[in-house]
A and B are shown apart, each in its own frame.
Chain A
């Protein structure tokens, strides 16, 4: 079965550079989520999109922006990178927005490991 695809899988950047992470959801999934997992930390929600519109926002720095395109893939743009941005960035998708009583899980991609030097 098709899974969530993230690219690149690994990325090394210098401080103050920019980075773009891409996420391709499972076909027919219209909801995309981004999470950041720092070393030894639990995943933290950044932002989500439903039908190409931002649906929820978490602890995402102002230096980061994201969008969902017409083909439902999403990109996370990160500018003025800092050492503390080094983390594993996960994208997840689900077939529809979360509803009470929903059995829909969020399917996670393998993650992009970003290292800022």
Chain B
């Protein structure tokens, strides 16, 4: 059974700092890994999707890496802003028979202080 763990559970940084969020997963037979953003009580916004054959993806100030063999991914946020404050969720899509579902981590609650 796939399990996804995110560290840290919460992070508070001053505006302008670069930061790294970590995600690990137990079953490396994945199709892809995604990072989502969730504002309180709101829906999920996909930030980056990394295919299993890729090593990293970049979008603006965000960079996500994937090391499939070791079951790890990181989300790097450069020059953080107060508007980046949200919960960041990592999710993996497994291959094989149950490849429809996303398995999520519990998220990292990020607070960027002005």
Question: Which residues of A does B touch, CB under 8 Å?
Answer: 31, 33, 35, 41-45, 48, 50, 55-56, 58, 88, 90, 92, 97-103, 105-111, 113
Contacts and interface: CB of A to CB of B under 8 A. Distances in A.
B25 interface: no
Contact of A48 (B44, B100, B106): B100
Interface in B29-53: 31-32, 34, 36, 41-46, 49, 51-53
B32 to A, nearest CB: 7
Interface of B: 4, 31-32, 34, 36, 41-46, 49, 51-53, 89, 91, 93, 95, 98-107
11 contacts: A35-B102, A43-B44, A43-B89, A43-B102, A44-B104, A98-B31, A106-B46, A106-B102, A108-B36, A111-B43, A113-B41
Contacts of B104: 42-44
